[in-house]
Amino acid sequence: MNFRFFFSKIISLIPFFPFKISIIRRIYNPDKIFHGKYKNVEKIIKINQAKFLCNTSSYIEWGMIFFKGHEIALLRFFQNLIKSNNFNLFLDIGANIGYFSLPISYKIETLSFEPFPNNFEKLNINCSINNSNIKTYNFGLSNKNKREKIFFSNNSPNLGNISLSPDKYFNLDKFKIINLKIFDDYFDYFGQNILIKIDTEGHELNVLKGMKKILKNNNCFIYIECISEETVTFFKKINYNYFFIKDDLYNVITLSDNFNGHVIASNYSFHNSLMNFAGTPK
């Protein structure tokens, strides 16, 4: 029996308390699992209706096994938005292994974009487990159609930390060649209600620049994780209202007075979107 996994799983079932995640990480650390110091566990888990094949040697999947994911509050926020509004489409840009795509695909049409081959392979495995009709695309989005290097580390369990810029993260010493495409060159939507999630490790502004047509011609609600306030300037230029949210995507989604890397933006008043209760936009 894998006692470290067993005890960690028991602790994970206890209602949230301070340092809960830190305690489990100390007992059964994904980095030590990745480097072979602790025994790895692979299992199928369920989050809402969706099933995922998860491996404890992956930081993201480790979090899904023990906490239903480090961004479970954001997933619930999206699901509540979908319940309260007539969304036609979900765009998951930087889909990783499908954490957001799969649960949401049970409600609305979903397009998932994941350029990194390892993550894309796992995304398709999870889609197969769920008999999902998600449309998956093995390319990234940008403001130019081109091939580009994407950097990663062979010494890290976190394949969420990949980047088109090697200097943005410590020790990204390996790369693969991926395709980048302009969204507006390949997709055409008009008059739809579209929910968009963008998490592309520093490339978010270029993603948005390649989506100007869809952002103009549809009612869009966007969540974006970004490292630069240039993204905020972009939203101002296209007349989108925007708000900052706090850097806690696990417990609850709440508004923040300051930019800290998480922004929601929209050109339409959707119900129960936080924006409805926030007063004057920034």
Residues 143 and 266 both lie in one domain? yes
Cα(64)–Cα(99) distance, integer angstroms? 9
Residues 27 and 139 both lie in one domain? no
Q: Is residue 269 part of a domain?
A: yes
For residue 239, what are the contacts with CB-CB under 8 A and spacing of at least 6? 267
| Predicted local distance difference test score (pLDDT) of residue 90 | 99
Residues 263 and 130 both lie in one domain? yes
**What is the span of the domain harbouring residue 107?**
72-147+182-277
Residues 55 and 77 both lie in one domain? no
Cα 76 to the chain's mean position, in Å?
13
Q: Is residue 264 part of a domain?
A: yes
Q: Which residue has the higher pLDDT, 141 or 270?
A: 141
Residues 246 and 186 both lie in one domain? yes
What tokens appear for 234 in the block? 């972009």
CB 151 within 8 A of CB 162: yes
Residues 61 and 104 both lie in one domain? no
Looking at 67, 85, 118, the residue that finishes a domain is: 67
Per residue in 172-216, pLDDT (tens digit) is 678 899 999 999 999 999 999 999 999 998 899 999 999 999 999
Cα(126)–Cα(48) distance, integer angstroms? 14
Residues 203 and 261 both lie in one domain? yes
Residues 117 and 93 both lie in one domain? yes
| Predicted local distance difference test score (pLDDT) of residue 185 | 98
Q: Is residue 159 part of a domain?
A: no
For position 85, which CATH number holds?
A: 3.40.50.150
Cα(45)–Cα(53) distance, integer angstroms? 7
pLDDT band at 164 (very low <50, low <70, confident <90, very high): confident
Residues 20 and 128 both lie in one domain? no
Does the pLDDT value for residue 55 go beyond 90?
yes
Residues 84 and 224 both lie in one domain? yes
Task: State the total domains in the chain.
Answer: 2
What tokens appear for 236 in the block? 């101002």
What tokens appear for 149 in the block? 């290097």
Residues 136 and 10 both lie in one domain? no
Task: Render the burial of 119-153: b for 16+ CB within 10 Å, e for the rest.
Answer: bbebbbebbeebebebebbbbbbbbeeeebebbbb
Does the pLDDT value for residue 281 go beyond 50?
no
Looking at 67, 90, 113, the residue that finishes a domain is: 67
Q: Is residue 141 part of a domain?
A: yes
Residues 269 and 129 both lie in one domain? yes
pTM: 0.93
Q: Is residue 176 part of a domain?
A: no
